[in-house]
Amino acid sequence: MSIKEKYIEVELMDGTPTGRFRCKIKNRNIVVLKIPRVDIDKSKDIKELSYSGIYFLLGKSDENNENSIYIGQAVNRKNGEGILYRLNEHKKDYKKDFWTEAIIVTSPNNSLGLTELSFLENKYYNIAIESKRYDVTNLNAPNPGNFSPSVENQLLEYIDYSMLIIGVLGYKVFTPLVKSESVGQIDQFSESYDKSLLYINKKGRITKKEYEARGKMTSEGFVVLEGSQIDLHPAKNFQNLKSAKTKRENAKMEDNILRENILFNTPSGAAEFVIGSSANGWDEWKDKAGKKLKEIEDIKITNSKENTSQLTNNKSDNIDEITFSVNEPENKDELVLYIKGTGRKSRKEYMATCKKKGNAFLVLKNSQIDLDTTDSLSSKIIKKRNEVKISENGVLMEDVEFTSASTSAKFVIGSNVNGKDYWKDKTGRTLNEIERSKK
């Protein structure tokens, strides 16, 4: 089913983002509940928990810290017991003590029967196994049964919508790392197979035999694809690349061939995993024509700017002009300053905003910083970066105060710089120029 724009109604039953949720899609016969394990006891009054439905127990295994899931079904009984009864049974089962959250999928009119539940549980089980995101703890799945094509299509649509809501809630248990049509063994790829594929072709460090790895950018990062080959003889500096080293130790491989898709935060991390040494993934990963990932991204940025310019120059009455601004401080002693730059490795543009008051420099929440640092960056700045809240994309999640222009600029840029040359006002004047003009 092709799902385009959809509106999901989310009710925060406890008024908090960590509490119980009730989710619906307008005009769809589906309700999805999210209930923390600790809140099961206070959920007796939730009417849907007396219904029949499918439930998912989610958490992390103590043995390997991997995401784990158990998929089950509950049938509404004559005594009124349904999903809640099964959840309480699982709370007492020490063999399934990994779970901290329960997701429940049911219908608002309690219309799911035993045969429909068996079909749904079977499909959820198989999709979770195929996605390879979670360790599915079920020993087996029920028989899906037989339905007419029309009924089966309705149930498959029901599954699609429920997985959409579950994904929005932050659980990617049913979401594969890459679309299935992009995955295959090395000899199954062709030039026209997937234009978004990227390659590393090299000779082994010791064997001198050619090997090829394939990967692609996704919304989550960079995925090295199943069937890729890697150099099994890493360089000496590989011992310092803890993330790539750990990924290798845990990867499923036969000889030097990868037998699963592996997700990395950056192209560089993926390249280091493949090559076995420190590497700049933006230079190592190339398309079929030999164009570097860095060059591909630069072209996209250029095209995006051209498209934006065309939209600006061809305004129509039905397009509203949107402007973004930072409120200037009412206090004249305060000064709003900016740093704009391009990521050292990512090649993506970033911008940080700072308020200067006296000798204090407050780098504001939602500022962007370059996550890649130089070797010369002081340990003090690195420690500061590790202490504050920064998203995976380099977005600052809180205000951070510094005592000088340079320490704040070093924090943003990730390199030793003179902050008075890098912080600028909205007209482009550097802080040095501003201070000189006041003398």
- Per-residue confidence of the chain (439 residues) as pLDDT tens digits? 444 678 899 999 999 999 999 999 988 999 999 999 999 999 999 999 999 999 999 999 887 788 999 999 999 876 667 999 999 999 988 878 899 999 999 999 999 999 999 999 999 999 999 888 999 999 887 788 888 888 899 999 999 999 999 999 999 999 888 865 433 333 334 434 467 899 999 999 999 999 999 999 988 899 999 999 999 999 988 888 888 889 999 899 999 999 999 999 999 999 999 999 999 999 999 999 899 998 888 887 777 656 555 555 554 444 333 333 344 444 556 899 999 988 888 788 889 999 998 889 999 998 999 988 888 888 899 989 988 988 878 889 889 999 999 999 999 999 988 999 999 998 889 998 888 887 6
Alpha carbons 199 and 221: distance in angstroms, whole number: 16
pLDDT reported for residue 230: 95
Are the CB atoms for 286 and 198 separated by under 8 Å? Answer: yes
Please choose, from the candidates 402, 417, 413, 298, the residue with its C-alpha nearest in 3D space to the C-alpha of residue 356: 402
Contacts of 264 (CB under 8 A, 6+ apart): 221, 222, 223, 224, 243, 247, 270, 273
Single out the residue of 69, 64, 66 nearest to residue 137, CA to CA. Answer: 69
DSSP 16-31: STTS-EEEEETTSS-E
The phi and psi torsions of 318 (rounded to 5 degrees) equal -95, 10
Which residues are paired to 212 by β-bridges? 201
Rounded distance, CA 39 to CA 27, Å? Answer: 29
**If 0-12 CB within 10 Å is exposed, 13-18 middle and 19+ buried, where does residue 376 land?**
exposed
CA distance linking residue 438 with residue 431, whole number of Å: 11
**pTM, two decimal places:** 0.59
- Chain position carrying tokens 């482009």: 428
Q: Where are the domains of the chain?
A: 8-168, 180-293, 334-438
